Chains A and B, each alone.
Chain A
Amino acid sequence: MTMSEKIDHEELGLKVGLEIHQQLDTEKLFCGCPSEMVEDEDGTVLRYLRPTESELGDVDRAALMEAQKGLKFRYQTPESSSCLVELDEEPPHGPDEEALDIAITMALFMDAEMIEEIHFMRKIVIDGSNTTGFQRTALLAIDGALDVNGKKIGIPTMCLEEDAARSVEEEDGVKVYRLDRSGIPLVEIATDPDITSPQEAKEVAQKIGALFRSTKKVKRGIGSIREDLNVSIEEGARVEMKGVQELYMLPEYVEKEVTRQVTLLEIRDVLDKRDAKVQEKIYDVTEDLKECESSIIRGNLKRGKGVYALKLEGFDGQLRGEDGEALLGPELAEYAKKTGVAGIFHSDELPKFGITEKEMKAVEERLDIGEKDAYALVTAAEEDSKDALQNVIERAKMALKGVPEETRQARPDGTSVFLRPLSGEARMYPETDIPPKKVESTRLKRLTDELPERPDEKIERYQEEYGLNEQQSRQLFRKGYDLLFEKIVEEHGSPSVATNMFLHTYPDLEKEGFEVKNINKEELLEIFRRFRSKEFAKEGIPDILKGVSQGRSVDEALDAAGLESVGEEDIREKVVELIQDRSDFVEERKMGAIGPLMGVLMKELKGKADGEKISEILKEEIEKRI
């Protein structure tokens, strides 16, 4: 098998599109609940979801597949961040105006065309993550664009939608969700598949993330921004990958998906050459495995279940590679699991799991397995086994054609797992409970006037205006301190002291366990006002921050730190005293004594006097001596 080291993404015709979902830091979209994640569960409510029938009496292919798994769900209903609306026990209220403002601001950033009257839609989702069985979403703007490293990336659509409930556990096969996340506003930004390299996917996501942050009204931290990826290569298929939470891993997800598609294409070629076939017949092989050592099979047989087999003609060696690398095997298993079985056994991995060569032989005889053939086994009740193998048949047939279009769930290790077939587009119908919303020109004008400074412009300006370097400027923005920083500098100057505080002192204190986020803007301004009037030296700032972070006032923190400022006269007195004490040392080392003596003085005067000032006086006094 060829593997990733040989992969030339451009030659393969890699195309990647992103869908970025960012949680907004406002109230929930359709009720007044705070959009906070909480620890309490409060009550729980049990619900069923049924696929609804469309006009033609068809349910969506993807919906049907989910339905096979049984649609019973349990919802935790924390009262502090969910109400009857999230429970689908009260109709939605109108959309949150602040959330709408932020979404429009993002559209303005992307020079997108605003939809004149916004209509909320119901997008059918019956995996239980929405109590209603649908997600409310509205198209807000179209035809935007973004410049990333000089390349234009199209932004075809921007939507405002509600977040889904948070999956917390699975209890006796029933999925349990918590409603705290349900209804948090999300802005969804989709890009065209203009991205052509794994690295570029990350750069585009970073750019969009920075724009979001510049609105100052977005949630931060894990899970607050989620990426879906669309990945395809020329001969492969469009695969949608859901739920990437770590932006830095985007390139890895793209690379691994490309490798997966390339592998599937290679398998297709092999199967094609062998004229491989998938039989529809399902064999009962319970008899052949009745003595089997496998504990799973044993247990199942004891409970009256059986073992069933499917012949895969020409598939030998294509389920699992010679070096143990996963090929088609996991793909078949993932489809089988959708029916509720634990998985499959397949011939490429046998003998193993307590299934012996002798038992294999019996199965092979029954199925008439030839040299190039493979087979898959499922152990469960007869009906369940047949359902599972039916899905395996379906997936194996797709392997003959190459890469199936599907939606996959991103896993934390950079790989992904089959979720459902790619959804069709007929899954949306109007949300009749929410009146359409006209975007008035006065609103657009107001938001255009208030448009935040773009991240790139800001980072450039910091370098010019405050003499910071690019990295410092970027970090101040990325960590969200830019507005505070500007306010401090505007009122009290000292950009380098402020930068140092945010980028170094803050992380240090956090590591020591101080909650610097408790320090508010007024307190910071007060600290810098006093610093400017020389009540203490910059070395004193960390101690004051410690105090304030623990709930003290600036005054109290100053006192507690013992930071009454020491004047020049007092410093000189201390210096002279020290030089006299250590006169031998000074005689001997001359100017070389400055370093060690400085250390002693800094310890003694820490935070009460400016280091540069001390050094200056020390130098003067030593010069007088020698």
Chain B
Amino acid sequence: MVLREELLGDAEVGDKVRIKKESQSYEGILMPSHRFSKKDVITLKLKNGYNIGVVCEEDTGIEVIKKSKKRTEKKERRIEIDEDKPKISILGTGGTIASYVEYRTGAVHPAQTADDLLYSNPEIAERCEPEVEILFSKLSEDIVPKDWVTIADRVVEILEEGTRGVVVSHGTDTMSYTSAALSFLLHGLSKPVVLVGSQRSSDRPSSDAHLNLLAAVELAGSDRPGVHVVMHDSMSDERCAVHRGTKVRKMHTSRRDAFESINERPLGYVYPNTGEVEFEEEKKVEVKKGLERKGGIDERVSLLYANPGLTQEDIRDAGKKEGVVIAGTGLGHMNTNLIPALKEVIEEGTPVIMTSQCLYGTVNGHVYSAGRELKEAGVIFAGDMLPETAMVKLMWALTLDEEVEKVMKENISGEYTCRRVR
């Protein structure tokens, strides 16, 4: 196998080259390798626009016909901003909602600047006076609990500067963790904070990013306070659903309506094309004094998924952290043989919270004996709170000067639904 690096020599991406093989020669622009290409393959863009892969062999020759010119600077872009419109802040944290494709290479880049984001969604400026800021640019799966605190602090600062509401653009994989974290960290919130993402990156003509972003801007401009997630409500580009930050979960790997409110209906809907925002129930705006970031995040919490193969060892390992959340089976159970190990963990002072991997419905420690034993061992049953929300809440509760059990049981940001109608 001849590696492409050996063969390429000083030929660079973007150069016009000729590759000669025994029976054929190809002329085209040298492209970066496809991320799944084999190591001995050179990618070439032919004049007709197609990319092909050429295998490097002993007798393969390459000749640079023309060095690539340095890239031309991006065009100056200017979006008219109307300062009479309500001021909305858009905080970028990454994800594909504002990415663009580099046609030359096919590489997709996240928006690097505020202008990138605005330019690909010019309608935003028709609806508000946007203030765009890229806080950081991370893939959703790379977000860590520390980042939640960074976002919360910046949101507090921005809201204090007098903006109407904040849109946080975020990758979708862990968006509901961040929304839960903000729900607990932002104390005294009287304005909308809206998390939004996209399931189809915005460099694609069929992207859901545009509609979602418009919906988020509309909601951020409304007078509905609280932390919400706004995403497509169906596979159609028609309306977006407004989900409570603590009750929302990504329920599909790829559909654009992947986000669902669990154990409650969406709080409302936004029709981005008309700008209409409608809520199921009116919410009184309590003018809370003193918006602040309350508490912090102690990331030393494990989330255990109960299953028939779980061992005492697993329980003890999990118990080495400061807190444990269990996504139990059914009504909030796990193998009764594991209860003694769980008891040890609790006796050492580590709080253990029980939720259900069913997601829908509430846990109940009274119906079966396993539940009663768990309760007796000191496990805190967390109603219909989602396992991930419980994990985030515990991370937060651990940093407060309050009794953890009391905090966990209190309904702080709608994480508990008392009545379930479906």
Give A contacts to B, CB under 8 Å: 45-57, 84, 87-91, 113, 115-119, 121, 123-124, 126, 131-134, 137-139, 143, 157, 159, 425-430, 432, 435-436, 438
Taking CB atoms, residues of chain A closer than 8 Å to B210 are: 48, 50
Taking CB atoms, residues of chain A closer than 8 Å to B77 are: 57
Known: A117-B55, A119-B53, A157-B48. A56 touches B74 (CB 8 A): yes
Bound-state CA distance A438–B37 (Å) is 9
Bound-state CA distance A432–B119 (Å) is 24
List 18 A–B pairs whose Cβ atoms lie within 8 Å, in order of A's numbering.
A46-B237, A48-B237, A50-B205, A50-B210, A51-B205, A54-B101, A55-B74, A57-B77, A90-B255, A119-B50, A139-B51, A139-B52, A143-B24, A425-B48, A429-B101, A430-B34, A436-B34, A438-B38
Within 8 A of A (CB), among B186-238: 200, 203-207, 210-211, 234-238
* Contact present for A56 and B72 (CB under 8 Å): yes
Taking CB atoms, residues of chain A closer than 8 Å to B253 are: 90
* Contact present for B50 and A438 (CB under 8 Å): no
* Contact present for B238 and A134 (CB under 8 Å): no
* Contact present for B204 and A53 (CB under 8 Å): no
Taking CB atoms, residues of chain B closer than 8 Å to A53 are: 100, 119-120
* Contact present for B53 and A47 (CB under 8 Å): no
Nearest first, the 5 closest Cβ-Cβ pairs linking A and B are: A117-B53, A133-B205, A430-B106, A435-B36, A139-B50
Within 8 A of A (CB), among B98-129: 100-106, 108, 119-120
* Contact present for A119 and B51 (CB under 8 Å): yes
Q: Does B11 contact A (CB under 8 A)?
A: no
Bound-state CA distance A138–B205 (Å) is 20
* Contact present for B35 and A432 (CB under 8 Å): yes
Bound-state CA distance A51–B77 (Å) is 17
Closest A residue to B104 by CB, please name it. Answer: A55
Q: Does B135 contact A (CB under 8 A)?
A: no
A76, chain B: closest CB distance, angstroms: 13
From A50, A90, A427, A428, residue with most partner B Cβ within 10 Å = A50
**A-B contacts besides A53-B100, A435-B36, 4 pairs, CB < 8 Å:** A90-B255, A91-B254, A117-B38, A425-B47
Q: Does B249 contact A (CB under 8 A)?
A: no
Partner of B41, one of A89, A116, A123, A432: A116
Taking CB atoms, residues of chain A closer than 8 Å to B254 are: 84, 89-91
Q: Does B87 contact A (CB under 8 A)?
A: no
Q: Does B43 contact A (CB under 8 A)?
A: yes
A562, chain B: closest CB distance, angstroms: 60
Closest A residue to B50 by CB, please name it. Answer: A139
Q: Does B62 contact A (CB under 8 A)?
A: no
Partner of B75, one of A51, A57, A157, A438: A57
Bound-state CA distance A131–B200 (Å) is 12
B97, chain A: closest CB distance, angstroms: 14
Bound-state CA distance A133–B54 (Å) is 28
* Contact present for A133 and B38 (CB under 8 Å): no
* Contact present for A117 and B75 (CB under 8 Å): no
Known: A51-B205, A119-B34. A89 touches B256 (CB 8 A): yes
Taking CB atoms, residues of chain B closer than 8 Å to A91 are: 254
* Contact present for B236 and A429 (CB under 8 Å): no
Q: Does B9 contact A (CB under 8 A)?
A: no
B201, chain A: closest CB distance, angstroms: 10
Taking CB atoms, residues of chain B closer than 8 Å to A157 are: 48, 50
* Contact present for B203 and A52 (CB under 8 Å): yes
Bound-state CA distance A425–B51 (Å) is 13
B158, chain A: closest CB distance, angstroms: 28
Within 8 A of A (CB), among B31-78: 31, 34-38, 41, 43, 46-55, 72, 74-75, 77
B369, chain A: closest CB distance, angstroms: 43
Closest A residue to B202 by CB, please name it. Answer: A52
Taking CB atoms, residues of chain A closer than 8 Å to B38 are: 117, 436, 438
Where chain A touches its partner, the secondary structure class is loop
Bound-state CA distance A425–B206 (Å) is 21
A384, chain B: closest CB distance, angstroms: 20
Q: Does B274 contact A (CB under 8 A)?
A: no
Q: Does B337 contact A (CB under 8 A)?
A: no
Known: A56-B75, A117-B55. A46 touches B204 (CB 8 A): no
Taking CB atoms, residues of chain A closer than 8 Å to B234 are: 45
* Contact present for A117 and B120 (CB under 8 Å): no
Known: A55-B100, A157-B48. A46 touches B238 (CB 8 A): yes
Partner of A117, one of B52, B106, B235, B237: B52
Closest A residue to B109 by CB, please name it. Answer: A55
From B41, B104, B203, B206, residue with most partner A Cβ within 10 Å = B206
Known: A89-B256, A139-B50, A432-B35. A133 touches B204 (CB 8 A): yes
A254, chain B: closest CB distance, angstroms: 23
Bound-state CA distance A91–B253 (Å) is 10
B36, chain A: closest CB distance, angstroms: 4
B110, chain A: closest CB distance, angstroms: 14
* Contact present for A47 and B49 (CB under 8 Å): no
Bound-state CA distance A179–B31 (Å) is 34
* Contact present for A119 and B52 (CB under 8 Å): yes
Within 8 A of A (CB), among B257-285: none
Closest A residue to B26 by CB, please name it. Answer: A142
Closest A residue to B211 by CB, please name it. Answer: A48
A110, chain B: closest CB distance, angstroms: 15
* Contact present for A116 and B206 (CB under 8 Å): no
Taking CB atoms, residues of chain A closer than 8 Å to B43 are: 119, 436
Partner of B205, one of A49, A87, A117, A121: A49
From B48, B51, B234, residue with most partner A Cβ within 10 Å = B51
Closest A residue to B32 by CB, please name it. Answer: A430
Bound-state CA distance A194–B299 (Å) is 70
Closest A residue to B255 by CB, please name it. Answer: A89
Bound-state CA distance A183–B356 (Å) is 40
Partner of B235, one of A45, A427, A428: A45
From A87, A113, A132, A432, residue with most partner B Cβ within 10 Å = A432
* Contact present for A50 and B53 (CB under 8 Å): no
Closest A residue to B44 by CB, please name it. Answer: A119
Closest A residue to B238 by CB, please name it. Answer: A46
Known: A53-B100, A139-B48, A432-B35. A116 touches B53 (CB 8 A): yes
Taking CB atoms, residues of chain B closer than 8 Å to A430 are: 31, 34, 51, 105-106
Bound-state CA distance A45–B238 (Å) is 9
* Contact present for A88 and B55 (CB under 8 Å): no
Taking CB atoms, residues of chain A closer than 8 Å to B51 are: 119, 121, 139, 430
Bound-state CA distance A426–B101 (Å) is 13
Known: A84-B255, A121-B51. A126 touches B205 (CB 8 A): yes
* Contact present for A436 and B255 (CB under 8 Å): no
B236, chain A: closest CB distance, angstroms: 4
A361, chain B: closest CB distance, angstroms: 45
Taking CB atoms, residues of chain B closer than 8 Å to A90 are: 253-255
A437, chain B: closest CB distance, angstroms: 9
Bound-state CA distance A425–B256 (Å) is 31
* Contact present for B206 and A132 (CB under 8 Å): yes
* Contact present for A132 and B205 (CB under 8 Å): yes
* Contact present for B46 and A139 (CB under 8 Å): yes
Known: A90-B254, A119-B50, A438-B53. A57 touches B203 (CB 8 A): no
From B36, B55, B204, B205, residue with most partner A Cβ within 10 Å = B205
* Contact present for A116 and B211 (CB under 8 Å): no
Bound-state CA distance A429–B34 (Å) is 12
Taking CB atoms, residues of chain A closer than 8 Å to B47 are: 425
A429, chain B: closest CB distance, angstroms: 4
Partner of A115, one of B53, B75, B207, B255: B53
* Contact present for B74 and A50 (CB under 8 Å): no
B54, chain A: closest CB distance, angstroms: 6
A520, chain B: closest CB distance, angstroms: 40
Bound-state CA distance A118–B41 (Å) is 11
Known: A47-B236, A54-B103. A117 touches B54 (CB 8 A): yes
Bound-state CA distance A55–B237 (Å) is 26
B299, chain A: closest CB distance, angstroms: 31
Partner of B204, one of A52, A56, A427: A52
Taking CB atoms, residues of chain B closer than 8 Å to A56 are: 72, 74-75
